[in-house]
């Protein structure tokens, strides 16, 4: 793209949305879609939009994230200049690590000042979408905006513990901005901010510095809502497929949406989603395998029945087992004659022969990492 | 201290593989796809890195473009090293003479400077046409223990097939007293696998000698090994007992792919202790649709299967539409089998399109042989490709 842009990804914000899956990992490294982690979508959007420097803001439990990202070469981000730059939390004797987005931004001012790009795209890891960020930066430029916030029209109330809704006027300028509004009803349209934002690097640095001097702590309350009339905040309507992971129910529902061809075409069709590779063998379907409407990753060995499921890498499904409407994560082993319905297993779960487990779509039965049943 | 590598591997990857017909029209044999996500060269390269050998020269000559691109900087095999790593060695022009590689021995001879740069004690010679998992470090240990000048990996083959191979006649201690290249009346069934370890200085000496000999065909099996034996050098066989398959023919390539199938396969590529590394496709998990019927098959990422797939190996991004049938087939990446089409007992190279209602090949039991479709071709709707046919152009039927 013509203008130069640096990316910033928040890896931990929204961890509390799905505590089951983020207990031992960042939101960014929550597994999704058979062979991905949530950060792969945000990161691939950046790479596919021509961004070659991405700072990744971490806070805690980021070992799995570091393991996933490695040198960044899978995203073509192992670069001499830029590439992936991990930004661990800053703290000293008197300060604790950040508790808000604004404090986290204060902690990365050094990174931001040392870059030379014109614009900054800030993204969280709670959304799954194919977004051309260069379009959004161009829109930001054309409007001479101070801040551009990306939104998606929703009709279901948001279950996140922290979210922002936007009211744009006909020119796209945001005239109203609400944090955690309580009047959302099923079927009523509203514009959900999807946690992707563009600013000029200079504006962001100045904003952070003035926030420090005034002792502000919340980007949403102290900067966005207070200045909605004075700052030029624009909304960019993202009209493609967007899946926000705001709860376990969301996680389950959006995973299952991948079984729809239109969703897969939009997410994977015209571009690549990059992820860490593992050199697994291709998956094997044995005699007796019966697989319907499912996504199967490499390294799986299937001898039983699998219907309406997402199988991650290296999953085994034994003889006579029936696995339906379930998400089975990496290297989990389902023994023989097991019945599973609406189950989510985290990584390395073992379900022994002849066990039966079931949840429901609103409340899938979750089995935590490494459990043996 | 002089930096060195104890053992440098030289991989002969220049072969045309003419018996693979349409599959090697534009690519070298080692670049031929295998096992849904691999290429033949992944096996020797993975064996090298898994055996602790991180310096590999790959000698290319025939249609090297795709092979060079595939190997790239060697990163997928962990062979991107500051000192060592994988290097493509193409024929080159030198001040005194310019030449294509004339034979296997000449190819190695012309790259003497590459090997010498690493000051190696041993040279491992490999070929790029076999599917196998082998720990070269164990072979090297045997080479050192016997104090051999040359160790040749060998495998027992059925006696009736022995005349297709270089046959080793050995003493009880494994030392070789005679080497016969494709003998009409083989005395033993111990076949050379084309894998040699030489003590470096001996190899260099005999390559110099061979180059100076105008009557030599510059071949390891025909010239260098017999010359060493005649001169009384210590040559030992190293018995290999695992799976090893020359995939130089259509039928052996097909069989070797089928050997991957089943719960207890003849050849296992999912062995966590001996990973086969490869360049991975960037693709989402495969989708198996609501009307699909998939059994006894291997399927790679990015496939969209709505039809029937039995006893087959499908590489990445293959589409099998509803009502299509793929049976006893090897289908390489990007192929599309449309509604009502039937593909049986065939090998389809990359990006073949089989239009609706067309049929390719005949049942395995019909005895007509394996049908082969070269890359990027289209079989028109309703067209029938006979069993055993080999096509490298679009086909509209007769």
pTM: 0.92
DSSP annotation string for A124-182? ESSEEE---HHHHHHHHHHTT-SEEEEEEEESS----SS-EEEEE-TTSBEEEEEES-S
Q: How confident is the model over B226-275, as pLDDT tens digits?
A: 999 999 999 999 999 999 999 989 999 999 999 999 999 999 999 889 99
| Domain annotation covers residue A23 | yes
- A301 chain-B contacts, CB cut-off 8 A: 263, 270
User: How many structural domains does chain A have?
Assistant: 2
A268, A274, A293 member nearest B289 (Cβ): A293
Q: Would A276 be classed as within a structural domain?
A: no
The answer on pLDDT for A3 being more than 60 is no
**CB A285 to CB B294 under 8 A?**
yes
Whole-angstrom distance, CA of residue B287 vs CA of residue B301: 8
The torsion angles phi and psi of B289, rounded to 5 degrees, stand at -80, 180
Same-domain status, A261 and A363: no
Per DSSP, the three-state class of B154 is strand
Residue A77 lies in a domain: yes
Rounded distance, CA B140 to CA B39, Å?
Answer: 26
Pairing outcome for strands B166-170 and B150-156: unpaired
For residue A216, being part of any structural domain is answered with yes
Q: Are A165 and A45 in the same domain?
A: yes
pLDDT digits (tens, 9 = 90+) for A106-129: 999 999 999 999 999 999 999 999
**Inter-chain CB proximity A301 and B270 less than 8 Å:** yes
Say whether residue A71 is in contact with chain B using an 8 A CB cutoff: no
Which domain-ending residue is among A208, A234, A268? Answer: A268
Residues of B in contact with A272 (CB under 8 A): 282
State whether B290 and A35 contact (CB < 8 Å): no
Half-sphere CA count of B95, side-chain side, radius 13 A? 0
Tokens of B161: 């097939």
- The token pair at A319 is 């003889």
Cα dihedral B154, B160, B164, B167 sign: positive
Q: A298 lies in which domain range?
A: 284-367
Picking from B348, B344, B330, B341, the residue whose alpha carbon sits closest to that of residue B383 is B341
Residue A109 lies in a domain: yes
Specify whether A167 is located in the same domain as A288. no
Residue-level pLDDT at A70: 93
Strand partners, A56: A9, A86
**CATH number of the domain encompassing residue A73:** 3.90.550.10
Is there a single domain that holds both residue A288 and residue A256? no
Q: Is residue A152 part of a domain?
A: yes
Asked if A262 and A333 sit in the same domain, the reply is no
Q: Clarify whether residues A190 and A248 are in a common domain.
A: yes
Of B261, B285, B292, nearest to A297 by CB-CB distance is B285
Amino acid B287: pLDDT: 98
Asked if A254 and A291 sit in the same domain, the reply is: no
The distance of B24 to chain A (nearest Cα, Å) reads 24
Find chain B residues with C-beta within 8 A of A281's C-beta: 35, 37, 269-270, 276, 298
Q: Is A279 inside a domain boundary?
A: no
pLDDT, mean over chain B: 94
Where do runs of H (alpha helix) occur along A154-310?
201-214, 248-257, 261-268
Q: Are the Cβ atoms of A281 and B285 closer than 8 angstroms?
A: no
B278 CB within 8 Å of a chain A CB: yes
Looking at the structure, tell me whether residues A197 and A341 fall in a common domain. Answer: no
How would residue A159 be classed by pLDDT, with cut points 50, 70 and 90?
confident
Q: Is the predicted pLDDT of residue A356 greater than 60, yes or no?
A: yes
Report CA-CA distances (Å) from A169 to A175, A176, A189, A309.
6, 9, 15, 42
Contact B296 A287 (CB under 8 A): yes
Q: Are A137 and A5 in contact (CB under 8 A)?
A: yes
- Tell me, yes or no, whether A199 and A245 share the same domain: yes
- Looking at the fold, whether A230 and A298 belong to one and the same domain comes out as no
At B98 the pLDDT is: 60
Chain B residues lying within 8 Å of A283, measured CB to CB: 286, 298-300
ipTM of the complex: 0.91
CA A309, CA A304: separation in Å to the nearest integer?
A: 13
Q: Is B257 in CB contact (< 8 Å) with chain A?
A: no
Query: Domain check: are A91 and A178 in the same one?
Result: yes
Q: Note whether B288 and A261 are within 8 A (CB).
A: no
Q: Which residues pair with A129 in a beta bridge?
A: A242
Distant-in-sequence, close-in-space partners of B122: CB < 8 Å, separation ≥ 6: B6, B7, B8, B140, B143, B197, B198, B199, B200
- Is A372 a member of any domain? no
Question: In terms of domains, do A340 and A196 share one?
Answer: no
Structure tokens at A329: 């994560």
From the list B357, B353, B344, the residue with the least C-alpha distance to B389 is B344
Domain end, chosen from A238, A268, A298, is at A268
* Torsion sign (Cα): A210, A216, A217, A221: negative
Domain of A320, CATH number, reads 2.160.10.10
């Amino acid at each position: 793209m013509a203008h130069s842009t640096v990316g910033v990804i928040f890896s931990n914000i929204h961890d509390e949305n799905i505590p089951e899956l983020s207990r031992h990992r960042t939101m960014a490294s929550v597994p999704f879609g058979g062979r991905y982690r949530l950060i792969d979508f945000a990161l691939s959007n950046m790479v596919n939009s021509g961004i070659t420097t991405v700072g990744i803001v971490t806070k805690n439990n980021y070992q799995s994230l570091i393991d996933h990202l490695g040198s960044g070469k899978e995203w073509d981000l192992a670069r001499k200049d830029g590439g992936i730059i991990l930004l661990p939390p800053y703290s000293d004797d008197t300060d604790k690590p950040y508790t808000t987005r604004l404090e986290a931004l204060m902690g990365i001012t050094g990174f931001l000042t040392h870059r030379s790009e014109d614009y900054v795209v800030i993204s969280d890891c709670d959304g799954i979408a194919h977004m051309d960020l260069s379009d959004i930066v161009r829109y930001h430029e054309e409007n001479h905006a101070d801040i551009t916030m990306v939104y998606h029209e929703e009709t279901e109330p948001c279950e996140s513990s922290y979210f922002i809704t936007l009211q744009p006027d006909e020119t796209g300028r945001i005239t109203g901005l609400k944090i955690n509004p309580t009047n959302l009803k099923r079927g009523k349209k509203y514009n959900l901010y999807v946690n992707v934002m563009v600013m000029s690097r200079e504006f962001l640095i100045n904003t952070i510095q003035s926030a420090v001097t005034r002792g502000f702590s919340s980007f949403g309350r102290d900067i966005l809502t207070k200045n909605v009339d004075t700052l030029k905040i624009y909304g960019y309507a993202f009209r493609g497929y967007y899946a926000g992971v705001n709860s376990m129910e969301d996680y389950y529902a959006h995973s299952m949406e991948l079984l729809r061809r239109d969703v897969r075409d939009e997410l994977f069709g015209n571009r690549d989603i990059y992820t860490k590779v593992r050199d697994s063998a291709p998956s094997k379907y044995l005699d007796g395998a019966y697989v319907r409407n499912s996504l199967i990753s490499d390294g799986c060995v299937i001898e039983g029945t699998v219907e309406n499921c997402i199988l991650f890498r290296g999953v085994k499904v034994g003889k006579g087992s029936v696995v339906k409407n379930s998400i089975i994560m990496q290297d989990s082993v389902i023994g023989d004659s097991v019945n599973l319905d609406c189950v989510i297993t985290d990584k390395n779960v073992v379900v022994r022969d002849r066990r039966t487990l079931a949840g429901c779509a609103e409340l899938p039965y979750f089995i935590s990492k490494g459990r043996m049943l | 201290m002089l930096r060195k590598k104890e053992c440098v591997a030289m991989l002969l990857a220049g072969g045309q593989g003419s018996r693979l017909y349409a599959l090697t029209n534009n690519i070298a044999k080692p670049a031929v796809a295998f096992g849904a996500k691999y290429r033949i060269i992944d096996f020797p390269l993975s064996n090298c890195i898994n055996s602790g050998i991180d310096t590999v020269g790959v000698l290319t000559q025939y249609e090297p473009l795709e092979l060079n691109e595939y190997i790239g900087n060697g990163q997928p095999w962990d062979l991107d090293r500051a000192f060592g790593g994988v290097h493509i060695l193409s024929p080159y022009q030198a001040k005194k003479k310019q030449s294509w590689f004339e034979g296997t021995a000449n190819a190695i001879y012309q790259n003497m400077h590459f090997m010498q740069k690493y000051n190696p004690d041993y040279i491992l010679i490999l070929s790029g046409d076999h599917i196998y998992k082998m720990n070269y470090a164990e072979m090297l240990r045997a080479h050192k223990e016997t104090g051999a000048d040359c160790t040749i990996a060998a495998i027992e083959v059925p006696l009736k097939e022995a005349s297709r191979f270089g046959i080793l006649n050995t003493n009880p201690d494994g030392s070789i007293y005679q080497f016969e290249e494709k003998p009409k009346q083989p005395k033993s069934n111990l076949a050379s696998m084309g894998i040699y370890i030489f003590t470096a200085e001996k190899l260099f000496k005999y390559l110099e000698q061979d180059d100076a000999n105008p009557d030599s065909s510059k071949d390891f099996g025909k010239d260098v090994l017999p010359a060493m034996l005649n001169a009384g050098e210590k040559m030992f066989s190293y018995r290999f007992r695992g799976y090893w398959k020359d995939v130089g023919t259509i039928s052996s390539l097909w069989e070797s792919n089928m050997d991957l199938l089943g719960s207890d396969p003849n050849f296992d590529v999912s062995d966590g202790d001996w990973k086969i590394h490869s360049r991975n496709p960037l693709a989402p998990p495969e989708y198996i649709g609501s009307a699909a019927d998939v059994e006894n098959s291997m399927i790679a990422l990015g496939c969209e299967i709505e039809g029937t797939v039995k006893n087959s190996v499908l590489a990445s991004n293959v589409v099998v539409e509803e009502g299509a049938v793929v049976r006893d087939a090897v289908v390489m990446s990007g192929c599309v089998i449309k509604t009502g089409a039937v593909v049986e007992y065939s090998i389809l190279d990359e990006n073949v399109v089989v239009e609706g209602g067309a049929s390719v090949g005949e049942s395995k039991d019909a005895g007509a042989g394996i049908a082969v479709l070269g890359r990027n071709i289209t079989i028109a709707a309703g067209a029938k490709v006979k069993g055993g046919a080999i096509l490298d152009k679009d086909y509209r039927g007769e």
